[in-house]
């Protein structure tokens, strides 16, 4: 059991005028209106630090807080491998299944919490994320200089994405497993990525004509009659970019419970259990390579980490 958590919302002018129950049930659709009513009756919801009823109307500037009682989090692999560390940086290899940041049913079973336990003061800060189901390399900042420099490098990499001749300051390379395909040995994917309505989360990201520009460069490493191992280098850093781009090209990642052909979420009607969300696992995606200049010395750093699977051996149920 963890220690529970308090989720807070500061009410904006646009949100004012709703009742507490209306606000909670519309903003947080992962729980039903009846479940929010039960939490209100149990005194788990406070307005400006005082318990509140669901019929109270909200005003701008008020703080609404949900005091979630302690809960048992799902079991996940909690260990991670340190590949490099100095006063500025920490480069680690994350296992598939471990969330990077708290969210949903995960609070302490996260990479961030495990990092904070191992490196308490000051704790390294992730400068980019990997999906829960994605394994492989991540870089974290241990100093203000590193955090500022790496964040700037990520922004510069995205800004230069449309120019194939411009080398990105940070180069992130992934390996992914898709089904048999007719993609050329070298390919570029440019489907825009934006927000799409979702019945539980409000929205998720997917292929969207009005979305933000996204660029991925890929090559085929290995083909079998049933699978294809591809290597993809990101030139932008949109959420779930590789999963969406390959699915938009007609080849979703093997085992992906969320994204189907076209790069959009699979129809809810096809879900046999809980509605799929981005944090679900089962797909084959690995952050294989990471290259960037050291933020203090500018010395080039390059890391690779082997896949926990390969095309011939991967078993997809």
For 193-238, what is each residue's pLDDT tens digit? 999 998 888 899 999 999 999 999 999 999 999 999 999 999 999 9
Q: Strand runs (DSSP E) across 227-276, as ranges?
A: 227-234
**Where do the CATH 3.10.290.10 domains begin and end in the chain?**
5-68
Give the per-residue pLDDT at 303: 98
Are the C-beta atoms of 113 and 102 separated by less than 8 Å? Answer: yes
3-state class (DSSP) for residue 193? strand
The tens digit of pLDDT for each residue in 171-202 reads 999 999 999 999 999 999 999 999 999 888 88
Give the per-residue pLDDT at 54: 97
Range with the largest mean pLDDT of 10-14, 201-205, 307-311: 10-14
DSSP assignment of 74-104 equals PP-----EEEEE-SSEEEEEEPTT--SS-BT
- Model confidence band, residue 315 (pLDDT cutoffs 50, 70, 90): very low
- Model confidence band, residue 243 (pLDDT cutoffs 50, 70, 90): very high
- Model confidence band, residue 312 (pLDDT cutoffs 50, 70, 90): low
Question: Which CATH number, 3.40.50.1970, 3.20.20.105, 3.10.290.10, 3.80.10.10, labels domain 5-68?
Answer: 3.10.290.10
- Please tell us whether the domain made up of 81-304 is placed in CATH 3.20.20.70: no
């Amino acid at each position: 059991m963890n220690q529970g958590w308090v989720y807070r919302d500061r009410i904006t002018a646009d949100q004012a005028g709703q009742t507490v129950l209306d606000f909670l049930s519309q903003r947080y659709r992962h729980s039903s209106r009846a479940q929010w009513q039960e939490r209100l009756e149990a005194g788990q919801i406070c307005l400006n630090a005082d318990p509140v009823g669901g019929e109270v109307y909200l005003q701008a500037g008020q703080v609404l807080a949900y005091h979630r009682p302690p809960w048992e989090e799902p079991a996940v692999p909690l260990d991670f491998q340190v590949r490099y560390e100095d006063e500025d940086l920490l480069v680690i290899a994350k296992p598939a299944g471990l969330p990077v940041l708290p969210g949903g049913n995960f609070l302490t079973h996260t990479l961030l919490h495990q990092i904070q336990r191992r490196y308490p003061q000051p704790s390294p800060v992730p400068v980019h994320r990997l999906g829960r189901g994605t394994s492989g390399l991540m870089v974290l900042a241990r100093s203000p200089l590193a955090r500022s420099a790496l964040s700037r490098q990520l922004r510069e990499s995205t800004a230069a994405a449309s120019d194939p001749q411009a080398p990105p300051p940070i180069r992130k390379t992934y390996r992914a497993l898709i089904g048999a395909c007719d993609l050329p040995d070298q390919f570029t994917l440019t489907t825009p990525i934006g927000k799409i309505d979702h019945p539980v989360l409000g929205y998720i990201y997917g292929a969207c004509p009005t979305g933000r520009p996204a660029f991925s460069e890929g090559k085929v490493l290995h083909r079998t009659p049933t699978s294809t191992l591809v290597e993809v280098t990101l030139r932008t850093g949109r959420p779930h970019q590789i999963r969406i781009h390959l699915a938009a090209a007609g080849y979703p990642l093997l085992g992906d419970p969320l994204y189907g052909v076209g790069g959009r979420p699979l129809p809810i009607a096809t879900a046999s259990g809980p509605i799929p969300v981005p944090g679900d696992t089962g797909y084959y995606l690995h952050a294989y390579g990471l290259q960037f200049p050291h933020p203090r010395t500018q010395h080039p750093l390059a890391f690779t980490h082997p896949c926990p699977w390969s095309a011939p051996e991967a078993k997809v149920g």
